[in-house]
């Protein structure tokens, strides 16, 4: 089916949507993005995604293409136009097309940012085969830049990480720096030990996951103890359970790290419970 996508104020069939070869997103990876889940036709954690988008733009001195209210309206319209029940909305903002290649940022008064959105359809999270069997991850060195808190479109190394995982017969990779796990290629990493849930504290080292924040809130409400601290790869391998969080994976159990099975080697009870709580609570708050 041909999707209807959004490009700078226009609604177009996907095969007619284009951006310039001089767009800085294309030439310089000078762009930021957000991925918002759609569940039962509604947007999950939208205020968090829009707040993080605004922060990413601010950190890069990039003008904002639309207000939070306008972005909500565009998200709702794209979901409706494409009849998405379960899936995602991908949004990208770049510094636009200055008409040539130049390392210097263009004058924002003369070059407007590029804003594009498209939808992706997914199955119901309850039917996820991956969630039932759990993910196998491998560890790879974290050689990304030092501002991982900004959600930029510089995703080459995360893509390479996924490919390394695939080659090793695994599902995904966890990045490791100085012996400690930073995060997954496209998700935040968590371990469970002795009933405590552990995830790295926020800093420039990791993306400030919106799903991570929601899971922390819900875990607290469910009286599950959360520790925000770094954990070593060896500690992760000795954990009872592990999982990752992201807008596309929700709470996704991890059952193996570098070939070492965690606990029973099957999705653990805490990860499964948190997945259920997250799916239930985030739907209640959906817009």
Chain residues 226-265 in contact with ligand PDD, contact rule CB under 6 A: 245-248
Q: By CB under 6 A, tell whether 111 contacts ligand PDD.
A: no
Number of residues lying near ligand PDD (CB under 6 A): 14
The full 3-state SS of the chain, as one line of letters, equals CCCEEEECCEEEEHHHCCCCCCCHHHHHCCEEEEEEEEECCEECCHHHHHHHHHHHHHHCCCCCCCCHHHHHHHHHHHHHHCCCCCEEEEEEEECCCCCCCCCCCCCCCCCCCEEEEEEEECCCHHHCHHHHHCEEEEEEECCCCCCCCCCECCCHHHHHHHHHHHHCCCCEEEEEECCEEEEECCCEEEEEECCEEEECCCCCCCCCCHHHHHHHHHHHHCCCEEEECCCEHHHHHCCCEEEEEECCCEEEEEEEECCEECCCCCCCHHHHHHHHHHHHHHHHCCC
136 classed as catalytic: no
What count of other Cβ atoms lies within 10 Å of the Cβ of residue 99?
A: 11
User: Residue 102 or 130: which CB sits closer to ligand PDD?
Assistant: 130
Q: CB under 6 A: which stretch of 79-87, 112-120, 208-216, 278-286 binds ligand PDD?
A: 208-216
Chain residues 66-105 in contact with ligand PDD, contact rule CB under 6 A: none
Q: Which of 81, 151, 162, 225 is catalytic?
A: 151
User: Residue 94 or 186: which CB sits closer to ligand PDD?
Assistant: 186
CB of 92 to ligand PDD, least distance (A): 11
User: Residue 32 or 262: which CB sits closer to ligand PDD?
Assistant: 32
- Which of 82, 119, 187, 271 binds ligand PDD (CB under 6 A)? It is 187
- Which of 75, 136, 162, 212 binds ligand PDD (CB under 6 A)? It is 212
CB of 9 to ligand PDD, least distance (A): 24
CB of 167 to ligand PDD, least distance (A): 20
Q: By CB under 6 A, tell whether 286 contacts ligand PDD.
A: no
- Which of 28, 35, 51, 226 binds ligand PDD (CB under 6 A)? It is 35
In the complex, the residues that contact ligand PDD under the rule CB under 6 A are 35, 183, 186-188, 207, 209-212, 245-248
Give me the active site residues, please: 151
């Amino acid at each position: 089916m041909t999707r209807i996508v959004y490009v700078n104020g226009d609604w177009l069939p996907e095969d007619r949507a284009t951006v310039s070869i001089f767009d800085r997103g294309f030439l310089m990876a000078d762009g930021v993005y957000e991925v918002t889940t759609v569940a039962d036709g509604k947007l999950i954690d939208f205020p968090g995604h829009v707040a993080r988008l605004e922060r990413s733009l601010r950190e890069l001195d990039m003008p904002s293409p639309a207000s939070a209210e306008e972005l909500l309206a565009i998200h709702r319209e794209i979901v409706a136009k494409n009849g998405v029940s379960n899936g995602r909305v991908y949004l990208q903002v770049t510094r636009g097309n200055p008409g040539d290649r130049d390392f210097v940022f263009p004058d924002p008064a003369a070059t407007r940012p590029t804003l594009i959105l498209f939808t992706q359809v997914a199955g119901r999270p309850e039917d996820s085969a991956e969630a039932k069997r759990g993910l196998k991850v491998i560890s790879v060195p974290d050689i990304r830049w030092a501002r991982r808190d900004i959600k930029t479109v510089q995703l080459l190394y995360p893509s390479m990480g996924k490919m390394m995982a695939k080659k090793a017969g695994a599902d995904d990779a966890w990045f490791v720096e100085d012996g400690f796990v930073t995060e997954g290629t496209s998700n935040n990493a968590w371990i469970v030990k002795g009933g405590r849930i552990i995830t790295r504290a926020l800093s420039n080292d990791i993306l400030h996951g919106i799903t991570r924040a929601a899971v922390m809130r819900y875990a607290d409400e469910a009286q599950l103890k959360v520790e925000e601290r770094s954990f070593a790869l060896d500690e992760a391998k000795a954990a009872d359970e592990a999982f990752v969080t992201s807008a596309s994976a929700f709470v996704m159990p991890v059952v193996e790290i570098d070939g070492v099975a965690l606990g029973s080697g099957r999705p653990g009870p805490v990860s499964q419970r948190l997945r259920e709580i997250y799916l239930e609570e985030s739907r209640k708050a959906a817009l």
